[in-house]
Chains A and B, each alone.
Chain A
């Protein structure tokens, strides 16, 4: 079985809950990491569920994500516990998880990765507002293009919205989620598990390719516009600094970044906790310095450290208290870095990180 159609009867969440529940009841996995509402808010949070009867609030298709949940998935998979964990993740979360696995932050051997076709996430506040108008947003979101302008800038520019490095994929493109959704097995592990729970094999819907192509084209244009706009706004040192002029050095972007994985970031160490003599010397040299210092240095260093692995999830923008479109410039820089190294983060867990491969003959010129 590589493709199955799951009937939803107007409730795609229920279909997904039943799928995850059958994985748990059949003891094919020991726990499921999935976005669920909590009793206190409609905003779904990553939850870890090991009881098939407690999936009642799971809603992984809700167009919102308060984090890039690769972090939560990686902490669950940090080392081999002998227990099998299924994780329902967005494509950008899967890509980040694969990068974290390459960085030895987690091991994917005991995982079952379930990706979803993702048409974007809204900012938390936008989601909660939209939910007031449309209580059944999870279904309505995929039924028309009516909500696509409400998703984040990074999502509107995302051309990698279909899960790649997953065992199973939950498909919504080409489906009306009020009627059915698709389930595709992408790996042997995925196929085995799906056969074990006994889902009947079916053909993908006819308009799936057309729907994917249309979604891709709209996002490709969005991406081009984002790259062009970021280049215009940051094309010189002065412009770059204007872009980040309201940065507070809070480092929220670094905290939210799923691939900024260092336990201790150099910007949190004494290297950048300058003694007063250093600050006074800098002031004396330049006449005046802004405090805290090293704002431009921070962003450039982060680009140099992680742009090869940037998965373009946009969470850096979402958490910025100064509303700086951090992701736009990072996505632009990442596209250049990734082209330079011919590297696509999250494509394949066996693809080496470019900075860890040293050939005597290299296409990067010495000068």
Chain B
């Protein structure tokens, strides 16, 4: 039996957090291999479906990384994401998903170490939570 290793979907915006992830990579800052990175042009284009789909397909955690408020390449995409993520978190927690499985964090383009730290922290937090309720459930 292998130990539980969480699957983490990380949705990052092209301009800030993806660049930070890239910087972490070029700086040789290792972060856990549990992370599956999905690059989007902006966190503001994250439809609630993307998050729900990840959870229903068995992701143990979903991390969304965007630009700091005021830094969005498209002015307010990150603020849109914040509104939506708060709503989705409220919904999934009513059906047994711990709210901590969904995290939104602002990580700027220059914050490579910050990206590494956040990934390590989030993976650790989701490990503590244990496997997602969707892992063993038959999802209709």
Contacting pair A300 B80 (CB below 8 A) = no
Quick check: A300 and B137 within 8 Å, CB to CB? no
Assess whether B82 is in contact with A362, with CB atoms less than 8 Å apart: yes
Contact of B48 among A234, A238, A305, A360 (CB under 8 A): A305
Residues of B within 8 A of A239 (CB): 95-96
Complex CA distance for A364 and B47, rounded to whole angstroms: 18
Of chain A, the residue at the smallest CB distance from B139 is A296
Instruction: Point out the residues of chain A lying under 8 angstroms from B137, CB to CB.
Output: 237-238, 241
B99, chain A: closest CB distance, angstroms = 9
Contact indicator A296/B83 (Cβ below 8 Å): no
Contact A307 B138 (CB under 8 A): no
Q: Indicate if the CB atoms of A300 and B87 lie closer than 8 Å.
A: no
Instruction: Tell yes or no: A367 within 8 A of B by CB.
Output: yes
A286, chain B: closest CB distance, angstroms? 8
Provide the residues of chain B in CB contact with A365, threshold 8 Å: 86
Collect the chain B residues with CB atoms within 8 Å of residue A235's CB: 94-96
Instruction: Kindly identify, within residues 305 to 345 of chain A, every residue whose CB is under 8 Å from any CB belonging to chain B.
Output: 305, 307-308, 332-333, 336-337, 340-341
Q: Which residues of A, 269-288, contact B by the 8 Å Cβ criterion?
A: 286, 288
- Are A296 and B56 touching (Cβ within 8 A)? yes
A366: Cβ under 8 A from any B Cβ: yes
Q: Are B52 and A301 in contact (CB under 8 A)?
A: yes
Q: Look across to chain A and name the residue whose beta carbon is closest to the beta carbon of B118.
A: A367
Q: How far is the CA of A262 from the CA of B85 in the complex (A)?
A: 21
**A245: Cβ under 8 A from any B Cβ:** yes
Q: Which residues of B contact A241 (CB under 8 A)?
A: 137-140
B96/A355 in contact, CB under 8 A: no
In contact, A297 and B49 (Cβ under 8 angstroms): yes
Stretch from B5-13, B21-29, B103-111 at the A interface? B103-111
The distance in angstroms between the C-alpha atoms of A362 and B92, with both chains bound, is: 21
Give the distance to chain B from A227, nearest Cβ to Cβ, in Å: 11
Q: Does A359 reach chain B (CB closer than 8 Å)?
A: yes
Which residue from chain A places its CB closest to the CB of B133 in the assembled complex?
A237
| B90 in the interface (beta carbon within 8 A) | yes
Min CB distance B103 to A, Å, is: 5
Contact with A along B48-85 (1 / 0, CB 8 A): 11001100100000000000011000001001101111
Interface of A is mostly: helix
* B91–A358 CB distance below 8 A: no
| Residue pair A301, B48 in contact (C-beta under 8 Å) | yes
Give A295's nearest chain B residue, CB to CB.
Answer: B140
Cβ of A340: which chain B residues have Cβ within 8 Å of it?
A: 86-87, 90
**In the complex, chain B residues 14-55 whose Cβ is within 8 Å of any chain A Cβ:** 48-49, 52-53
Which B residues lie within 8 Å of A301 (CB)?
48-49, 52
Q: Would you give the shortest CB distance from B17 to chain A, in whole angstroms?
A: 13
B88 at the A interface (CB under 8 A): yes
Q: Cβ of A214: which chain B residues have Cβ within 8 Å of it?
A: none
Q: Is the CB of A358 within 8 A of B97?
A: no
Say whether B95 contacts A336, CB under 8 Å: no
Q: Which residue of A lies closest to B102 (CB)?
A: A367
- A39 and B19 alpha carbons, distance in the complex (Å): 68
9 chain-A/chain-B pairs, Cβ below 8 angstroms: A236-B133, A239-B95, A295-B140, A355-B80, A355-B84, A357-B83, A359-B79, A364-B83, A364-B86
- Known A354-B83, A360-B69; 16 more pairs at CB < 8 Å: A231-B94, A234-B94, A234-B95, A235-B96, A239-B96, A241-B138, A297-B52, A300-B91, A300-B95, A332-B94, A333-B91, A336-B90, A358-B79, A359-B79, A360-B70, A366-B104
Closest 10 CB pairs of A and B: A358-B79, A364-B86, A236-B96, A304-B48, A295-B140, A358-B76, A360-B69, A237-B133, A240-B95, A367-B103
Which residues of B are in contact with A by a Cβ distance under 8 Å?
48-49, 52-53, 56, 69-70, 76, 79-80, 82-88, 90-92, 94-97, 103-106, 133-134, 137-140
